[in-house]
Amino acid sequence: MRSRYTIPIVASLTLTVGAVGAIGAGSFYSIADEARPSVRQFGYGELPDNDLDLYLPAAVAAAKPGLMMTPTVVLVHGGSWTRGDKEDLAKQAQQLVEAGYVAISVNYRLAPESPWPAQRKDLVTALKWIRAHALDLHVDTSRIVVLGSSAGGEIAAAALTQGAGRKLARGLITMSAPYDLGLIARDTTLTDESAELAETVTRDLLGCVSEECDIDLEKRSVFDDVDSQDPPSLLFASQREWVDPQNSIRYHQVALAQGLESRLVVFQGRRHGMTYWRDAWPIVQEWLTARMAAPK
């Protein structure tokens, strides 16, 4: 059974590094005064945990297939690759629907039963399924953004930097993503939380031991896959959280070096992932408005 986890929220201020382009006007459906969003569950594959939840504004849910095609945010939950569930992001999905988006929260196979790269493969499969069924789902395939928290952010980035990432999504948002598994495993300032994460990465996710671990870890950095064909990114981290913020800082630097649009937001304090969602949400909304502007 999938398990869930929580991390205490600690107050923080905000430090922002990087920039994005000017905000553009998008075409979104307003659900003010409408009924609660419609939630539907679908299977996107034949493997375990290959399912997703579709959140639609009430009027969009009532529309015929092919009508009211709507900008869409695909959510990828965290949980150190070993736990968590699509329902963990139900609150964020409903907020996105209230802001005028279709939201889709995705499950994926978990380690250690399914070691890497099962998680990346599942997300790619889910994105392809969403695009193939876009008319029925009311998804505007030209306006899809993937948002992942913690391990979900690493999975999202890995999926969108493999091959032609832009063909799967128009943008990437990550929150406290551990992109560099080698950095995590060799952390010399380990807290209890980061030590547990390092063990999870080597033992459960990669299943590597002794001298083989260094070889596997060297192959497991998202940074090596970033190129000029990848989508723009919005990256969040905290200065003293247990996932080293250097993960997000380096991704930002690598993306800029490839000529990609990237924005980095680093909060003060120790908050991790969705625990700073309240502060991140206005920035996410602004960035989505720019990314989801109607195609010209």
- Looking at domain 50-291, its CATH class is alpha beta
Query: What is the pLDDT at residue 180?
Result: 82
* Cα(171)–Cα(118) distance, integer angstroms: 22
Dihedral over alpha carbons 126, 91, 263, 146 (to 10 degrees): 10
DSSP 8-state secondary structure symbol assigned to residue 135: H
**Helix intervals (H) in 140-243:** 151-160, 181-185, 192-199, 212-218
Q: Three-class SS of residue 243?
A: coil
Q: Tell whether the model's pLDDT for residue 30 goes beyond 50.
A: no
Nearest 5 degrees, angle CA 11-CA 183-CA 268?
15
Q: Tell whether the model's pLDDT for residue 218 goes beyond 70.
A: no
- Give helix 118-132 / helix 151-160 axis angle, nearest 10°: 60
Q: Could you tell me the pLDDT band of residue 275, with boundaries at 50, 70 and 90?
A: very high
Length of the chain: 296
pLDDT digits 0-9 by tens, 246-267: 999 999 999 999 999 999 999 9
Return the domain boundaries, the chain: 50-291
The mean pLDDT value for 215-234 works out to: 82
Give me the chain's average pLDDT, please. 83
Burial 157-183 (b: 16+ CB within 10 A, else e): bbbbbbeebeebbbbbbbbbbbbbbbb
